[in-house]
Amino acid sequence: MSKLKIIREQQNLTQEELSEKSGISVRTIQRIEAGTKPKGHTLKTLSKTLEINDSDLLTENNSIEIDEKIDEINLINDEIPQENETINFSKIKLINLSSILFIIFPPLNILAPLLLSYLYKEKNNITKQIISVQIIWTISAPIIFMLGIFLKLGRQFTLVLIIAIVLSNLYIILRNALEIDRNKKLYYRLNFSII
């Protein structure tokens, strides 16, 4: 078994999750796990993503080193609370769509999915991302609106700007709902979580 596969499995990552986290294609990860040695950018990216030294992916498997790495990873994993492995995507879609009900009342477009995520006990990365995106939108919408007012282009422009801001959030919510249906992930997400 390749070192990459051992380390990846010990960190409870699938090939797809490692690919998403690192930006390296699943096919490249499969090749490395089949015996191809990683080089250059791929080696550095995987090492950084897995939080290991470059040399750990290049050296031959040594059972003592592997056992030490497994013990170290298990200690780290024991400290990190594990999320529920089963994700109900129909509930996640409902949590995402709940923001539409309060699309013109910005603070409530955050509270609705937050409350539903607690009621449905769906406290995973996807629901955190849904709420984070709504928080960013809620912060940026008034800033954009105020900038539009400072331009002093008239009442018609202000009305168009308000409609455009509301429709942008509607588009984000609906596009994410579509992506949840198709690929079980979000189309619009952040590289970080606010909550």
pLDDT at position 58, please? 75
Nearest Cα to Cα of residue 176 among 114, 96, 94: 96
Under 8 Å between Cβ of 186 and 177: no
Residues 45 and 107 in one domain: no
For residue 40, the enclosing domain spans 3-79
pLDDT at position 74, please? 56
Backbone angles phi, psi at 86, to 5 degrees: -90, 125
pLDDT at position 164, please? 93
- Roughly how many angstroms between the first and final C-alpha of the chain, as a whole number? 38
Q: pLDDT tens track of the chain, all 195 residues? A: 688 888 888 888 898 999 999 999 999 989 888 888 888 898 889 888 888 888 877 765 544 455 555 656 655 554 444 444 478 888 999 999 999 988 888 888 899 999 998 998 888 888 899 999 999 999 999 999 999 888 888 888 889 999 999 999 999 999 999 998 888 888 988 887 787
CB atoms under 10 Å from CB of 162, counted, come to 14
pLDDT at position 62, please? 47
Tell whether 8 is covered by a domain.
Answer: yes
pLDDT at position 175, please? 94
**Among the three residues 54, 79, 104, which one is the final residue of a domain in this structure?**
79
CB atoms under 10 Å from CB of 114, counted, come to 19
Residue type at position 142:
P
Tell whether 190 is covered by a domain.
Answer: no
Under 8 Å between Cβ of 52 and 7: yes
What gap in Å lies between CA 135 and CA 146, rounded to an integer? 18
What gap in Å lies between CA 53 and CA 109, rounded to an integer? 43
